[in-house]
Chains A and B, each alone.
Chain A
């Protein structure tokens, strides 16, 4: 198996891991955002809570979620490895450097953007995911369906705090920019470059990078405003 470890140690192997984990996380984001939209269903959170149970108990989804955790961890670890190696490759920097003339801001700041997302993820997971799994949550009983952990109320409560909403907004900006470069970059890394499809991929990536974070961000904002009312 030395060929495999060799390949994964090489620069392109590492890139491959970043791209695959990144793309997987993109898929995850897609599912996650769609599910979370249930927050907007005006049923007092029933659909959302049902969805939360489904997500935490269905075996296939559980496997997928472990892959997601792993992806985040690997993606983050490799991003550190890559960034460190890249810093080493230029021990003395330029006195004057105009990166803005040749590349986009997001592409040059993936590490910072990723770190913002990571910090957010830790807080986010602690307040919802951890609570859902290991915390003691209030329960609700939906007639004819059964008893559910009431994650919805936790979420709703969290989104009444302005600083929590702000954290979300900042993180989603970060995610948006991370994706603005990351989406198409992953395809380039995988060598999936084609004169017909690449322009399309770029457009989809751009759209994705705007719509998904916007949807995520809309949830705390809307619920915050609702809580004011």
Chain B
């Protein structure tokens, strides 16, 4: 039986696909059989971020409609043999994902994998609800910004009332906060919500803080999830988050300003970076 984890946010463009790519890659690197599913029907993007766009033949909706088998649709990851990608369909039909169809595919995947990562589309409508419905755990991707935090709270409301676990009265979906595009300098200057502020408001457990980093763009340019970049702060932060997801107690990094050169020396002792 696989663990089903949805990566969701409500608000668009906060880093769900970036996080899905890195977290699924990290789980695979650490030896877990993992599949990552793109639920963004009509706006397929995970294939690009994971550098398999030219190998897409069949997609999620083809499998649901019986036009292809799972084996035909699953794409083996370029970088790790434990990881497979199930791409989204480019159909314009937003309702192409039926609850029964999704359930059937997840059941089949569940036999073969340890983790199923669901990359949710933005919004709180059908597509987002399908992505979260069967989840055992949810990673709420949030930017330190008012509209993102508010939307995260709304998606938490949906997880608590409209997920399968909620409807069946089972143990609730386990919720994790992933704060991304974090800029400690701006937090220190009082221009950006800090990690404790967001934790206070959403009141869920912190999985990780991913710093704002130019490496994220360069990694999506080249189609190598940033977690594979061992020099990058963002890559390291994703790696820590995956360790925490696997139950390890890893201290948080990159929350404070890293002082460099002259300043580093000057602030030594008082700084906690």
The finding on whether chains A and B are genuine partners in a shared complex, rather than unrelated, reads no
Interface residues of B (CB under 8 A from A): none
